[in-house]
Amino acid sequence: MNTIREIQRLNEEELKRGLCAGIGASWHDKYRQSAWVFIGGLPNELTEGDVVCVLSQWGEIEDLNLVRDEVSGKSRGFAFVKYEDQRSTVLAVDNFNGGELLGRTVRVDHVERYKLPKALREKDEPHIDPATGKEVSKYAPGHAYADQELDSNGFSLQRGQAVFAADGSVRAQEE
């Protein structure tokens, strides 16, 4: 509750002085490189979709991490949200911090350097294919196209040509 009051005090002080974000004088400017906000005090029954519905009123949401208990899978009552536009973070912090959601007081604050949880970071790393022993990237072609070469001789969707070269020649597809 002290953090909520402190943020509200800072906002009131800025209003009295006539300061606004974006000119270097606002306390929000410290966080202008980050589009992430922390939301705490969320009711445990909320889902990711519920959080998106509530927080999208201040801007387009690009990413959301509703933190859950690893064993039970239940929400732990806080989340990290990334907005498409950093200015939306200022709106969310100023307008929703200290607000009430389903009878609970919600804390919203900027996050200067958000780091994905270790489990999510590991999902992004390439893994070793057990069959070949080679490193496989998540951007690699699917198994159906694994050894295919892309056609580089005038491929055109408008002309309906094959995407993959067949023995170095280009085959036109029937329309």
Q: What does the chain look like in DSSP terms, one character per residue? A: -HHHHHHHHHHHHHHHHT--TTSS-SGGGGGTT--EEEEES--TT--HHHHHHHHGGGS-EEEEEEEE-TTT--EEEEEEEEESSTHHHHHHHHHHTT-EETTEE-EEEEESS----HHHHHHHS-EE-TTT--EE-TTSPPGGGTTPPBP-S---TTTTB-SB-BTTB--BPP-
Residue 79 has pLDDT above 90, yes or no: yes
**Mean pLDDT, residues 103-125:** 77
For the entire predicted model, the pTM comes to 0.58
Q: How confident is the model at residue 165 (pLDDT cuts 50, 70, 90)?
A: low
pLDDT higher at 119 or 154: 119
Q: Is 73 exposed, middle or buried (0-12, 13-18, 19+ CB in 10 A)?
A: exposed
Residue 104 has pLDDT above 50, yes or no: yes
In the chain, the amino acid numbered 6 is: E
Greatest alpha-carbon pair distance for the chain in Å reads 74
Q: How far apart are CA 106 and CA 141, in angstroms?
A: 44
- Domains of the chain: which residue ranges? 2-122, 126-175
Check whether domain 2-122 has CATH 3.30.70.330, yes or no: yes
**Mean pLDDT, residues 95-118:** 85
Residue 76 has pLDDT above 90, yes or no: yes
In the chain, the amino acid numbered 92 is: A
Task: Give the Cβ contact number of residue 95 at 10 Å.
Answer: 13
